[in-house]
């Protein structure tokens, strides 16, 4: 399996989720299965079916996180000598040329991307357009919703 780029903070968040799943969620679902099993006939026991389904989800997510973390290539943005360019892990403030709306994104790995937290995937159209550019550059982003131009206001390596 190929290495998976992750920021150090992203890896910490995934590790925390893994620990919660293993030490809180897994024991809780095992108890729920035992309680449902104690009620008798399993063929018509909705609680048992729901608990087994939840167990399958938890075990699948644990396996996924274990695989991701074991193949992770941790990247600490503050230690990268990028010479002012936008690279993986950089936090970038951009301004929409047309609407003058400013937004700040951090470019992260696919598995840690979360648009609500302004963490965009390195493989997203916006990040692909920004990689390698400098402060003050204007980039054109070709997204499914159409082309947009953004000016790069600032670049930080936090």
- Note if the pTM is more than 0.75: yes
Domains of the chain (ranges; CATH) run 4-75 (1.10.287.180), 77-156 (3.10.50.30)
Cα dist from 44 to 38, 41, 127, whole Å:
13, 6, 50
Each residue's pLDDT tens digit, 95-117: 999 999 999 999 999 999 999 99
Over residues 110-131, the mean pLDDT reads 95
Each residue's pLDDT tens digit, 38-63: 887 777 788 888 999 999 999 999 99
Percent of the chain whose pLDDT exceeds 70: 99
Q: What angle do CA 99, 147, 103 make, to 5 degrees?
A: 45
């Amino acid at each position: 399996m190929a290495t998976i780029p992750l920021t150090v903070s992203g890896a910490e968040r995934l590790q925390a989720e893994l620990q919660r799943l293993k030490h809180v969620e897994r024991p809780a679902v095992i108890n729920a299965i035992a309680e449902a099993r104690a009620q008798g006939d399993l063929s018509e026991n909705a609680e048992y079916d729901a608990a087994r389904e939840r167990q399958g989800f938890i075990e699948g997510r644990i396996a996924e996180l274990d695989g991701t973390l074991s193949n992770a290539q941790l990247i600490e943005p503050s230690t990268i000598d990028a010479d002012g360019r936008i690279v993986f892990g950089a936090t970038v403030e951009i301004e929409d040329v047309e609407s003058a709306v400013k937004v700040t994104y951090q470019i992260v790995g696919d598995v840690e991307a979360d648009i609500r937290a302004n963490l965009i995937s390195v493989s997203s159209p916006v990040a692909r357009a920004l990689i390698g550019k400098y402060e003050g550059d204007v980039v054109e982003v070709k997204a499914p919703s159409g082309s947009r131009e953004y000016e790069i206001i600032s670049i930080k390596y936090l």
